[in-house]
Structure 1
Amino acid sequence: MKENKINVKIILEDGEKVCKANIGDNLLDVIRKNNIDFDTPCNGNGSCGKCRCRLRENTEIGVSSKKHLSEAELNSGVRLACDTKVMNDLTVELSNKIKDMTVLISGVEKEFKINPSIKKHYIVLEKPTLDDQRDDLMRIKDFLKESFNLENIDIDLNILRKITKAIRKDDYKFTITLFDNKIIDIEPSDTTKDNYGLAIDIGTTTIAVYLMSLYDGRQIDVISEVNNQRNYGADVISRINYTIENSDGLKKLKASIVSQINDIVKNIGKRNNINIDNIYDTVIVGNTTMIHLLLGIDPEYIAKAPYISGFTEAMNFSPKDIGFSFKSNISIMPGVSSYVGSDITAGILSSGMLESEKYSLLLDLGTNGEMALGNKDEVITCSTAAGPAFEGANIKYGVGGILGAISEIDLSKKNKIKTIGNKPPCGVCGSGVLDAVSEMIKYSLIDETGRMFDEEDDDFEFEEYEYLTKDLVEIDGMKQYILAKDQNGDIISFTQKDIREVQLAKAAINAGIQILVKEKNLDFNDIECLYLGGGFGNYMNVKSSLQIGMIPLELDGKIKSIGNCAGSGAKMYLLSKEYRNLIVNKINTSKYIELSNRKEFQEYFVNGMMMERIYEPAQKSQTEEAAVSSI
């Protein structure tokens, strides 16, 4: 019987693809099955309104589309893919701007002595004689003991199988590779410089792969990409839910990340003209859910109270067991808990807080808000569900750090916004979200409770900036402030609901910081430094974070951005056995604080919802002449 298939033509910015579908198929499922990159932060449950597409044919309007889209958008053919059924041939216009996301790959680097677990030794053996009939392995062990003071040497069986030929191929001149005290490779001639490792930071949103020389510690190359798992949700809970709701969900998410890393490693070897068989150790960091998905471990119970993960300790695995196509040993850095993963552990290591007598804080704001307080003696950690607001998932016109994202806002200037790449605006990313609320507080467009100014309020406080109120509008019953218009002439605004989302996020972060400091009976004078890690921490305006009350004002002057601290920590773990041992031992004795169990959290949280103006508006004479007309 002939299948009743229909055509769905997907129009992308860089080409088009014709897909086959069955009548009644969900459009988002069709897009996913055909491996088309598409941003779906809520995993298609209809809550975020981000999977927008434009259909050239008339289709039924779903419930979620009616909820999130304006009448003008619906009339122009815009729909949400997650609640659109494919009932006939369709032509669908998609934006895959997520591929243009800015990925932070640099971090503050410490100087330290290189001492990796992987070592290569060039050996020239005396040839055996009738008077010296030691076996090949014994002769190698004796040489290592005499020349390098190495004892208790073990050997991989596969290497033992080729030992007899390998050492004789170049007349008993050869190179052995050791992982700690185990021989894992043997090659004819001197290949000591062909010694490489990888440090891989698997973020919820992005991936960064660093190629490192284990011979001299140099960073040779780095490749960064958007995490392909984003097609299954922007945050860890969405991805966990996908594995629960779909019988093959875990298999798909594992295959997605493994395939992507395999491709990156292949590409990084090719473009640097190295044999990837000479990559011997790969250190991987990521939040606990990302590591579970990579290893194919069911993450379901991470999302359910009491939030228990399968494991958090340091591990070493065979690449074949994971599904990697390269031969390197796989080292997983230790995490602390279900919501403080090895990416934070790596940040703790690279920040340097473990080498100081004084206490420091680490704050990493991604899809969650993780933080740590520690010094050379101890570390305590906690996590807050704060990230979605700053990743754009819960913001009406929120986007990731893509080209065209509004990243800076200054309401005192004629051109009040700046976008990434100076491209036409397409939405607001995390740093822009922070600036939006900060600027609206500064100019009294919102009050201390977060309520937007409206016509019934008393006269505007700053007469010379009264023109700003003209961009305060109400659309579909929601008060909002117009920031810009996109290249199609559609408005990009910041809504009253967006402000509430930021208040919830910043109050949770502030409360977490307060509880960590109180836990050790410290005050903010005792804190040496607040390290900001991750992409959002790197690009955000620190003054904006202080203005909205996300970071306590007492820490002003102690704040330092350290970039991709997870990647930097992974490189330290790869290149130094001493740092590897330090962080493993320290994390084994660390303490995780579950904020929901703390009575004082609610008090700190409620207080943290309020906003007080810290910085006064700029004097008009000191700024550009602003345009007084509404956008």
Structure 2
Amino acid sequence: MNRGVTQKQYLELVPPTEEDARSSQMRILDALKEKGITASFTLPALQKLYPICDEADYNITVSLAWNGSIWQVVDLEAGDTAAEHYGYAADLGSTTVVVRLVNCSDGTVLAEESEYNRQTAYGTDILTRIFACKDKPEVLQDIRACTMETFTLLFEKLRQKTGIAPSDVLSMVVSGNTTMIHFLLGLDPFCVFSSPYAVRADRVGFLPAKEMGFPMKGCVYCVPGKSNYLGGDILSGMIATELYKKETISVFFDIGTNGELVVGNREFLLCGAGAAGPALEGGVVKTGMRAAEGAVDTVKIEDGKIQCHVIGEGKPKGICGSGIIDLLAELFLNGWINLFGTLQPERSEKIKEDPKTGEWCVEYREGLNFYQSDIAEFLRTKSAAYTMVEYMMRESGISMEDIDRFYAAGAFGKHVSKESAITIGMYPDMDRERLICAGNTSLEGAEKILLDRTRIEEIDRILEEMVYIQFGQVSDFISMMAAAQAIPHTDLERFPSVQKKLEERKQ
């Protein structure tokens, strides 16, 4: 039985006769009913009944899309094209948008592409974009147009790679934070930021793709959110990791421009969210970039020399999130920065003043510098990340020893070094086997929903069980963040493995 949000059924129907003069429409609906499928027709599908049925001698493939309550016939094709069944899974991130093209007939991933979110023209951080369109509906529509432009670019990239156009795709599942879904739908997002934080819509469900401006034949499903700062990307993460089904306690932490955290198991789910900043995705680092060809993604310092790996093995163009984490860890372990992240020029000739700005920086590759202000920006991000985990552990009365799995999600999380992340104090110092770099769980969850619509019922259950904590209302959150801004932390005893590394380096 097909469980996805779309399906294709090949039907060999008996053409009409004087004895059986049922309409083409009813022949199809009756044949589908025999397969246990109750459906209705969309207008575009009705308009294709003739001449396709006659020309194909009633041997046709029917494309169906789920709209949240019933199957809809959205397309007809001559012959058996049931294997040509495609869908999109998308992660609508505030910095990066990723779309995956899936063969829904067998679940294989055909291609995946990513692009910077064109919304960044209105600000690298979400708040800037929210204020840019406050009481300015024309700007809101411009930001929505930027969102659609990003998707259009990705669809074209996928078409060039696979030959499959978006008009050949039936439906799409989109995961994104609450603000991103508001922008996608052209809804005023100021409510996300302002009290009482009652958002315009958080359970949008299925919407006709054509009404949204997408060229697909079926629907777009927007994964629902829990609150203003905990959106569908995190619910997708729950579906991807299945944390909510486990007996043991797990932590799910998705760190990007925002940081979202869930602690729990099948008995309880405690969640919270807060701003982290775009540094992890290269958004504000002067030579930062996405993890694409030309990005430095790993860094080592050996015998005073910086060694880098470049994605694609070609000339480096900049540095991505995993490379930044490595670079900071190596700078700290080698004494090139102190525990406050201040560059120490006497430790290396690679540390110098930029003649144009007068700012200190380290040249990690020829012509590519990482600046003191980049370090400061990144330390603010990592301190926010660590403090969210610290507070949630304190609030729940759970210690790290109680945690069976710590899922580190996020677009860069798949490739980040656990050791480097712990060294700078982004992740807790814990058993590395229990620390899972889960990668882009927002995208993984969207794909699971695309292929299995019963996951939507599970999302309803998750939403009911989640208890939300607003980090911004925690009285000592800022002071906790200040303590975590040091590398790895002002309380070094929290990071015994880092302490050990530093002692070994001294010896």
| TM-score of the superposed pair, with normalisation by structure 1 | 0.69
Deviation of residue 572 (structure 1)? Answer: 0.6
Q: Does 1:438 align with 2:342?
A: no
Distance 1:406 1:173 in 2: 54
Give yes or no for the alignment of 1:118 onto 2:25.
no
Look up the match of 2:495: none
1:557-568 matches, within 5 Å, as: 557-568=433-444
The residue identity in structure 2 corresponding to 1:333 is V
Distance 2:107 2:365 in 1: 48
Structure 1 residue 228 and structure 2 residue 108: aligned?
no
**1:176 is aligned to 2:62:** yes
Equivalent runs, 1:375-394 vs 2, <5 Å: 375-394=265-284
Aligned CA distance change for structure 1 residues 374 and 154 (closer, same or farther; 3 Å)? farther
Measure, in 2, the Cα distance between the counterparts of 1:284 and 1:145.
Answer: 30
- Contact (CA 8 Å) 2:116, 2:150: kept in 1 or not? no
Say if 1:364 and 1:420 are closer, same or farther in 2 by CA, change over 3 A: farther
Give the 3 Å change call, closer, same or farther, for CA 177–403 of structure 1 in structure 2.
closer
SS in 2 for 1:311: coil
| Change in CA separation of 1:184 and 1:453 when aligned onto 2, cut-off 3 Å | closer
Q: CA deviation at 1:576?
A: 0.7
Distance 1:261 1:350 in 2: 23
CA 1:210–1:311: 2 relative to 1, 3 Å: same
Task: After TM superposition, give the deviation of residue 382 of structure 1 in Å.
Answer: 1.7
Cα distance between partner residues in 1 of 2:317 and 2:85: 44
**One-letter identity of the residue aligned with 2:60:** F
CA distance in 1, matches of 2:2, 2:436: 26
What is the CA distance between 1:389 and its match in structure 2?
A: 3.5
Determine whether 1:328 maps to 2:253.
Answer: no
Question: Once the 2 structures are TM-superposed, how far is the Cα of residue 411 of structure 1 from its aligned partner?
Answer: 3.7
In structure 2, give the amino acid aligned to 1:169: E
1:547 aligns to 2:423 (yes or no): yes
Q: Which residue of 2 aligns with 1:616?
A: 501
Structure 2 counterpart of 1:571: 447
Task: Select which of 181, 184, 192 maps to 2:82.
Answer: 192
The CA deviation at 1:249 is 2.0
Secondary structure of 1:540's aligned partner: coil
User: CA, structure 1 residues 480+128, in 2 after alignment: closer, same or farther (shift >3 Å)?
Assistant: closer
Separation of aligned partners in 2, 1:426 and 1:170: 54
The verdict on how the C-alpha distance between 1:218 and 1:413 changes in structure 2, with shifts beyond 3 A counting, is: same
394-403 or 364-373: which moved more?
Answer: 394-403
Name the structure 2 match of 1:144: 32
Conserved in 1, the CA contact under 8 Å of 2:335 and 2:347?
no
| Structure 1 residue 369 displacement after superposition | 1.8
1:571 CA drift (Å): 0.9
1-structure distance, mates of 2:25, 2:101: 32
CA distance in 2, matches of 1:250, 1:167: 44
Asked whether 1:201 is paired with 2:91, we answer yes
The amino acid of 2:121's aligned partner reads N
Shift of 1:500: 4.2
C-alpha distance 388-328 of structure 1, shift in aligned 2 (>3 A): same
Which deviations, in whole Å up to 9, do the C-alpha atoms of 1:520-553 show, x marking residues without a partner? 4322222111112223323322222222322221
Q: 1:482 aligns with which of 355, 359, 362?
A: 362
Distance in structure 2 (CA, Å) of the matches to 1:447 and 1:221: 43
Aligned twin of 1:57: none
Q: Which amino acid aligns with 1:179?
A: A
CA distance in 2, matches of 1:620, 1:602: 33
For 2:321 and 2:425, how far apart are their aligned partners in 1? Answer: 16
- Return the offset for 1:211: 1.6
Offset of 1:217 from its aligned partner?
A: 1.6
Q: Distance in 2 between matches of 1:250 and 1:407?
A: 35
Question: Share of identical aligned residues, percent?
Answer: 27
SS in 2 for 1:507: helix
Any idea what the Cα deviations from partners look like across 1:564-607, whole Å, max 9, x if unmatched?
Answer: 22221111110012223222432344232101223353454344
Residues 358 and 141 (structure 1), Cα distance of their counterparts in 2 relative to 1, 3 Å cut: same
**Matches of 2:328 and 2:157 in 1, distance apart?**
42
Distance in 1 between residues matched to 2:365 and 2:53, nearest whole Å:
69
Match in the other structure for 2:474: 598
| Counterparts in 2 of 1:470 and 1:119: CA distance versus 1, 3 Å | closer
SS in 1 for 2:481: helix
Are 1:265 and 2:265 matched, yes or no?
no
Contact 1:393 1:399 in 2 (8 A): yes
Contact in 1 for aligned 2:243/2:265 (Cα 8 Å): yes
Q: Distance in 2 between matches of 1:222 and 1:360?
A: 29
**Counterpart selection for 1:286 from 176, 179, 183:** 176
> Which residue identity is paired with 1:358?
T
Taking the aligned partners of 1:586 and 1:604, their CA distance within structure 2 comes to 29
Letter of the structure 1 residue corresponding to residue 471 of structure 2: L
Distance 1:127 1:492, change over 3 A: closer
Task: Return 194-203 or 570-579, whichever deviates more.
Answer: 194-203
Question: What SS class does the counterpart of residue 244 from structure 1 fall into?
Answer: coil
Q: Distance in 2 between matches of 1:162 and 1:411?
A: 64
Seen in structure 2, the aligned counterparts of structure 1 residues 270 and 453 have a Cα distance that, compared at 3 Å, is closer
The answer as to whether partners of 2:166 and 2:215 remain within 8 angstroms in 1 is no
**Paired AA for residue 347 in structure 2:** L
Aligned equivalents of 1:544, 1:499: Cα separation in 2? 15
| Counterpart among 247, 250, 253 of residue 363 in structure 1 | 253
Greater CA deviation, 350-359 or 156-165? Answer: 156-165
2:347 is the alignment partner of 1:468: yes
3-state SS of paired residue (2:499)? coil
C-alpha spacing 1:470/1:224, structure 2 compared with 1 (3 Å): closer
Deviation for aligned residue 1:140 = 3.6
1:14-72 deviation digits (Å, cap 9, x = unpaired): xxxxxxxxxxxxxxxxxxxxxxxxxxxxxxxxxxxxxxxxxxxxxxxxxxxxxxxxxxx
Offset, 1:318: 1.8
SS at match of 1:509: helix
Distance in 2, Cα, partners of 1:317 & 1:305: 28
Native 8 Å contact 1:452 1:479 kept in 2: no
| Pair member with larger Rg | 1
Residue type at the aligned position of 1:279: V
Give the length in aligned residue pairs: 492
2:248 alignment partner AA:
K
Deviations along 1:115-137, one digit per CA (max 9) or x if unpaired, are 21222222233444555455544
Q: Do the aligned partners of residues 176 and 326 (structure 1) sit closer, same or farther apart at CA in structure 2, a change above 3 Å counting? A: closer
1:473 touches 1:481 (CA, 8 Å); kept in 2? yes
The structure 2 residue matched to 1:587, chosen from 449, 455, 463, is 463
Matched position secondary structure for 1:572: helix
In the alignment, is residue 537 of structure 1 matched against residue 413 of structure 2? yes
Q: Distance in 2 between matches of 1:584 and 1:219?
A: 27
Equivalents in 2 of 1:391, 1:270: separation in Å?
Answer: 26
- Aligned AA (1:482): V
Gaps of 5+ in 1: 1-112, 455-466, 623-631
Matched residue, 1:153: 39
Amino acid at match of 1:616: K
Give the aligned partner of residue 521 of structure 1: 397
312 and 413 in structure 1: CA distance in 2 versus 1, 3 angstrom threshold: farther
